Structure 1
Amino acid sequence: MVQQKGKTVVIKIGSNVLTQADGSPDKSRMEALVHQMVYLREQGVKIVLISSGAVAFGRKSTVFEEKTDPVVQKQILAAIGQIELINSYKSLFGNRQTPIAQIMVTKSDFRDRKHYLNMKNCLEGLVKNNIIPVINENDTVAVTELMFTDNDELAGLVAAMMDAQEMIILSNVDGIFKGHPNDPDSELIEHVDAKSPSMNSYISSSKSSFGRGGMLTKMNMAKKSADLGIGVIIANGKRENVLVDYYQKTLRCTYFEPSKAKLNPKKWIAHSDHYSKGELIISSGAESALKSSKITSLLPIGVLKVKGDFIKGEIIRIISEDGRKIGLGKAAYGAKVAIEKIGISNQKPIIHYDYLYLHHNNQ
């Protein structure tokens, strides 16, 4: 793990960490984690907090009429619970003379570079003024196609946006195991790097009763974030002094070693698949060139087909001849011009290297 003093760390706390077995809010656990975050801050760590729990907090005292639509139920629970969740944080952090700010977002807030930079500037301004941003998805207005997979995805996007050095995902297990976490004989996978074999076979796809995601989504987001140059820790938020142990480098967890840090535009592009407006089918030769160790932009001569009606500046997918997702990029010109330039040499890149992100593994 990197030296923490002076670094930016995104901490994501899952719903199952902030609730007890009976579904009621775990205020003592929240208080313990707040005290530890203040400790990190006192050591010079810059913190951005992503917190789930609004729906769980709203569930404890809400009774619905029969036949209430499930989506409406969740919106109501989120609306009620978010008040209690943020007030609890405000009180607990306030007791330690630590100011916070509430940020509610949906996926559409990150839909283009302008919105992305507006959010980035806001968060950076808060952190520079020693205010801890507390971020959660705005479940009251999000619809299915605009929802994050879960707050792990949101945490990964924010960590990339803030050029964070590390991201801590707090769940109710110590990390990723070679077997069921409750099996005492299961081995904890403590270190993962770009050369580590796939761990999919070890992970159950089950989800908690309060959260949307499971360990598989955590692992996938951790791998993507590590590929962007962000170290990722998956740890047990119910473990005593989990964040103190993290700082002191004694934490039992799964750590994803970061690759070389990418430029911020690449980090934005890496999380922009949902906003892509078209596709470029490229030749095997172009694919090999992009994956080589040389800095390479995508040129029209390597494009076989253009799909979609994108314009300059929009995100487009890069697809191999056999249909694999190779990467994403920002179009240097629109689809009409791109079609005219297919296969022609000595042309301006359709995707410049600085605005090109390649998937770590083909999908």
Structure 2
Amino acid sequence: MSVAKKRPSPVRSRLDIPSADLVVVKVGSSSITSVSGGIDSDAIKRLADNVAAAVKNGTKVVLVSSGAISAGLKPLGFDYRPGDLATQQAAASVGQGLLMAHYTGAFDSHGLTTSQVLLTAEDLIQRQQYANAFRALTKLLQLGVVPIVNENDTVATHEIRFGDNDRLAALVAHLVNADALVLLSDVDALYDGPPSEGAQRIPHVKSAKDLADVRIGSVGSAGVGTGGMVTKVQAATMASESGIPALITSTTNAGSALGGQDVGTWFDAYGKRRPLRHLWLAHLANTHGRLTLDAGAVRAVAKGKASLLAAGVREAHGAFEVGDPIELADMDGVVFARGFSSYSSDDIPEMLGLTSQQLREKFGTQFERPLVHVDDLVIMTNGVRKISAPKAAH
């Protein structure tokens, strides 16, 4: 199938979605599966109908789909979502093939070819894997294929994983330079409180400040998902902070959303695109420790233009290796940045407070490099938070 090449244009509101060149659509487990019934083939068919209509209108679509674990529960005889990682991986291994079979059939009825793309967090933060993922998705889209992306749950570990496909979708949108991100679930929009209590739909979010007083719900009643509205808002914020607008709505509103109608909650794009590994570091990374900085170092690093030097660090906490993500905090314990450490926690205590010249004289030239390089730093733009300190490094 061929369509006229669409001239790219900025997507500034939901009205612009039908004219977008490339959109990432994410659908949650609760919309297409259930613990008791497995895969909902009718729901997948309706979703494929809506996505196919957008593709035939000239918009390329990457579909990020949850549901592999849920799809594998019934064939394995489970009536609940298991808590241990090994059983989840087994269910995902069984369910992923079943899920793709349904998607393949549903899109084939529209003359569209689908592909399976399974990603881990490392695929999007390591330079070579990132380049491979980008090339593969780009070529699939050029060939008119609808890529169906999921986290590779069969090999993912608790230590390094996305945690839910909402945030995976935000990273994929950044990876493929999408014009917009559409997050679909069983809730039609973000509300200013529990909908059951008469709350009102929030149609438009201009920045994270608009959400300061909003009560956001967690996992839905279906019990097969992992995120709920909290992770959808986090994903929408991740996208908007990196220059990609986002829309949160229900799967039943998928056609209306892709058609530019007034549904769901729209998040304006208000930030600049930044390296994908920085998005992962800011929003997804499990940090292994923390460095406490004096006031001068906080001021310098918080501007986002200076590396962290040992002279400005007063305390080190936690156990970490070279390259591990760590948090940076002020003397009050307020975390304001994250970064990849250039040293292990075993090396840092003896370096604290020393200038580059003192480090060179005491340990050699290999210790002149900063503790965290400016290129490996992200400033926490969603506000600071106080946390208890990990065990001190020594």
TM-score normalised by length of structure 1? 0.82
Tell me the C-alpha RMSD between the 2 structures: 3.3
Residues of 2 paired with 1:8 and 1:339: CA distance? 51
SS of match in other structure, 1:49: strand
Whether the 8 Å CA contact 2:316–2:348 is kept in 1: the answer is no
Q: Is the counterpart of residue 205 in structure 1 residue 205 in structure 2?
A: no
Contact 1:299 1:348 in 2 (8 A): no
- Is 1:49 paired with 2:63? yes
Say whether 1:344 aligns with 2:344. no
Offset, 1:201 = 5.0
The structure 2 residue matched to 1:94, chosen from 86, 101, 108, is 108
Asked whether the equivalents of residues 12 and 170 of structure 1 are also in contact (C-alpha less than 8 Å), the reply is yes
> Which of 250, 253, 261 is matched with 1:250 structurally?
261
> In the TM superposition, what is the alpha-carbon distance from 1:137 to its structure 2 partner?
2.2
1:191 to 188, 199, 204: 204
Does structure 1 residue 322 correspond to structure 2 residue 350?
A: no
Q: CA separation in 1, counterparts of 2:114 and 2:183?
A: 20
2:242 to 228, 235, 240: 228
In the alignment, is residue 63 of structure 1 matched against residue 84 of structure 2? no
Q: Take 2:83 and 2:162, find their aligned partners in 1: how far apart are those partners?
A: 21
Where 1:270 maps in the other structure, the secondary structure is helix
CA spacing shift, 1:35–1:193, aligned 2, 3 Å: same
Change (3 A) 1:304 1:14: same
Question: Per-residue CA shift, 1:55-108, capped at 9, x if unaligned?
Answer: 33334444369xx99655544432222222101111122222222211223334
Residue number in structure 2 paired with 1:359:
380
1:164-209 deviation per Cα after TM superposition (whole angstroms, max 9, x unaligned): 33211101111111232345x3201111232534457522334431
- Give the partner amino acid of 1:203: I
Structure 1 regions of 5+ residues with no counterpart? none
Which whole-Å deviations, capped at 9, do the CAs of 1:267-287 have from their partners, x for residues lacking one?
35435522x565432223333
Q: Where do 1:257-268 residues align within 5 Å?
A: 257-265=268-276, 266-268=278-280
| Equivalent residue in structure 1 for 2:137, among 120, 123, 126 | 123
- Alpha-carbon distance, 1:12 to partner: 0.7
What is the distance in 2 between the residues matched to 1:52 and 1:234? 16
**Pair 1:352–1:62, CA change in 2 (3 A):** closer
Identity %: 28
Cα 1:6/1:204, change in 2 over 3 Å: closer
SS of the residue aligned with 1:144? Answer: coil
- Residues 106 and 64 (structure 1 numbering): CA distance in 2 closer, same or farther, change over 3 Å? same
Distance of 1:125 and 1:172 partners within structure 2? 32
Q: How far off is 1:329 after superposition?
A: 2.9
Partner of 2:105: helix, strand, or coil? helix
SS at match of 1:317: strand
- In 1, Cα distance between the equivalents of 2:233 and 2:164? 13
Map 1:71-86 → 2, pairs under 5 A: 73-86=87-100
Amino acid at match of 1:323: G
Offset, 1:50: 0.9
**Offset of 1:24 from its aligned partner?**
4.5
Give the direction of change, closer, same or farther, for the CA distance of 1:70–1:341 in structure 2 (3 Å limit).
closer
Alignment partner of 1:216 is 2:230 = yes
Change (3 A) 1:163 1:304: farther
Do the aligned residues in 2 keep the contact of 1:111 with 1:272 (CA within 8 Å)?
A: no
- Distance change >3 Å, CA 160–CA 318, structure 1 → 2: farther
Cα distance in structure 2, aligned partners of 1:255 and 1:249: 11
Q: Is the 8 A contact 1:338 1:350 kept in 2?
A: no
1:131-163 deviation per Cα after TM superposition (whole angstroms, max 9, x unaligned): 222111233333433443221122222223333
Asked if structure 2 preserves the Cα contact closer than 8 Å seen for 1:297 and 1:349, the reply is no
**One-letter amino acid of the structure 2 residue matched with residue 344 of structure 1:** T
**Corresponding residue for 1:298?**
307
Corresponding residue number in structure 1 for 2:361: none
Q: 1:272 to 1:201 in 2, by over 3 A?
A: closer
